[in-house]
Amino acid sequence: MTGAPAYHAAAFGLRWLSDTPLAHFETTAPGDADVRVARATTLAQREPLAQVRRGQVYADGTRFPWEDEAVFDTHQGAHVDYLPGPDWTGALPYAFYGTVAAHLLAWRGLVPLHACAVEIGGKALLIAGTSGAGKSSLMAGLLGCGATLVSDDLTALAIRDGVAEVLPGRTTIRLGPEIAHWTAGEQIVPPSPATRGKHVIRPAARTRAERLSLAGLLLLGAAPGAVPPPARALALARHLFRPVWLAALPNHRARLQALLDLAASLPVIGFPRVERTGEDAHRERARRALALAESLSS
């Protein structure tokens, strides 16, 4: 990256160095980097081990094409080459902060989940559910009740001996216009097709912790109350981020075992899906979730 602009950021317990801004990560002072991101003019020839949709898995990483904007090559969980395509906008697409980041995290032995996380009482609470269940909306409501943002949509867990720590992720949230209006923060990206018509905001309430112990999980759309151990393991496995990709990576068996170990003791509580019922209901739902979270953190 000699002679190129240098942008330093932190996310998912890693320090990042890029030749283009990392708009959805926390900006940091210069320092040694765990992950380097650089524009390429060509991508290296590599022998694929597996085909995953339009991409490939290699012995040393992955290749992920994102529409006609760019192709991303990851190497050993430590380097990303990106080759701009005909629809390149000049900025890393949102998929970089999701799928590409998840490839790197998984390669490094972390567990990427399709879940949000907030900090309450010094511990992290996960919020998971199917797409459209209202994970980000509930998280935004919790921020209004005194919680702080840990990660939106993609959450990274470091699991050892059945105990998980949560590594704070990107510092922005993608929200529908109504919820965004009720959420204090700075708009980073206005609604567009790239954001599925949602606002992308950076809330003022963000964690300052480098990692947090995991108190429990709210599972949106599940039957209210405590979820039993077998269902906990299944729920965690179903909420892996980009599961088809992760299943093709060489360390997937260890990742599943880590989730099984975690499910043995992790509290998981069913909670209603979020419905569009106005600001008062939005805030009351967040207060009910906060009460549950505080009982887990105590």
Q: Tens digit of pLDDT for each residue in 136-184?
A: 999 999 999 999 999 999 999 999 999 999 999 999 999 988 899 899 9
- Do 190 and 265 lie in a common domain? yes
- Do 116 and 241 lie in a common domain? yes
- Do 198 and 72 lie in a common domain? no
- Do 163 and 65 lie in a common domain? no
- Tell me the H-state helices in the chain: 99-107, 135-143, 177-181, 229-238, 243-248, 252-263, 279-297
CA 56 to chain centre: 22
pLDDT given at position 196: 80
Average pLDDT over residues 113-131: 95
H or E element in which residue 210 lies: none
pLDDT given at position 2: 58
* CA 198/CA 122 separation, integer angstroms: 30
Q: Which of 96, 97, 103, 113 is nearest to 157 (CA)?
A: 113
pLDDT given at position 298: 63
- Do 54 and 148 lie in a common domain? no
pLDDT given at position 195: 80
How would residue 92 be classed by pLDDT, with cut points 50, 70 and 90?
very high
CATH number reported for the structural domain that contains residue 131 in this entry = 3.40.50.300
Which tens digits make up the pLDDT trace of 25-70? 999 999 999 999 999 999 999 999 999 999 999 999 999 999 999 9
- Do 101 and 149 lie in a common domain? no
H or E element in which residue 168 lies: none
How would residue 207 be classed by pLDDT, with cut points 50, 70 and 90?
very high
pLDDT at 1 over 60: no
How would residue 276 be classed by pLDDT, with cut points 50, 70 and 90?
confident
H or E element in which residue 182 lies: none
Which tens digits make up the pLDDT trace of 17-26? 999 999 999 9
Residue that is last in its domain, among 46, 80, 107: 107
- Do 154 and 226 lie in a common domain? yes
Residue range of the domain that includes 169:
111-297
Percent of the chain past pLDDT 90, that is, above it, reads 86
Percent of the chain past pLDDT 70, that is, above it, reads 98
How would residue 71 be classed by pLDDT, with cut points 50, 70 and 90?
very high
pLDDT given at position 3: 67
Average pLDDT taken over every residue of the chain = 94
Q: How many domains does the chain have?
A: 2
- Do 100 and 115 lie in a common domain? no
Burial pattern 213-251, b for ≥16 Cβ within 10 A else e, equals: ebbbbbbbebeeeebeeebbbebbeebbbbeebbebbee
